[in-house]
């Protein structure tokens, strides 16, 4: 009987340890924390996808600027105020 009692107590202690181990290691609120971290991970992945798309667009624009002289002239005119030889500038004061 003493042997059975020790086995029962050992089994009870083992069961208690296995059940309480996640609470001891992660705290009582570990499941909500996991859900929060999964949401953060999904947002980060979405942001990364958007940033990858932006990088592709910028690379495409760089390639276009390197190869298209008309585009270079257009950007110089619109963004930097460059004028071509056939344009006349009027300054009003």
Model confidence over 26-39: pLDDT tens digits?
666 666 777 888 99
Which tokens go with 43? 């947002």
The mean per-residue pLDDT over the stretch 3-24 comes to 81
Helices (H), the chain: 2-26, 30-67, 69-80
Exposure letters 25-46 (e unless 16+ CB within 10 A, then b): eeeeeeeeeeeeeeeeeeeeee
Q: Which pTM was predicted? A: 0.51
pLDDT band at residue 24 using 50, 70 and 90 as cut-offs: low
Question: What whole-number distance in Å separates Cα of residue 35 and Cα of residue 41?
Answer: 10
């Amino acid at each position: 009987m003493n042997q059975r009692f020790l086995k029962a107590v050992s089994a009870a202690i083992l069961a208690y340890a296995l059940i309480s181990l996640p609470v001891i290691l992660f705290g009582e609120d570990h499941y909500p924390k996991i859900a929060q971290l999964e949401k953060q991970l999904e947002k980060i992945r979405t942001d990364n996808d958007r940033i990858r798309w932006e990088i592709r667009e910028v690379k495409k624009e760089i390639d276009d600027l390197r190869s298209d002289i008309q585009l270079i002239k257009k950007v110089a005119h619109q963004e930097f105020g460059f004028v071509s030889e056939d344009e006349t500038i009027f300054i009003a004061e």
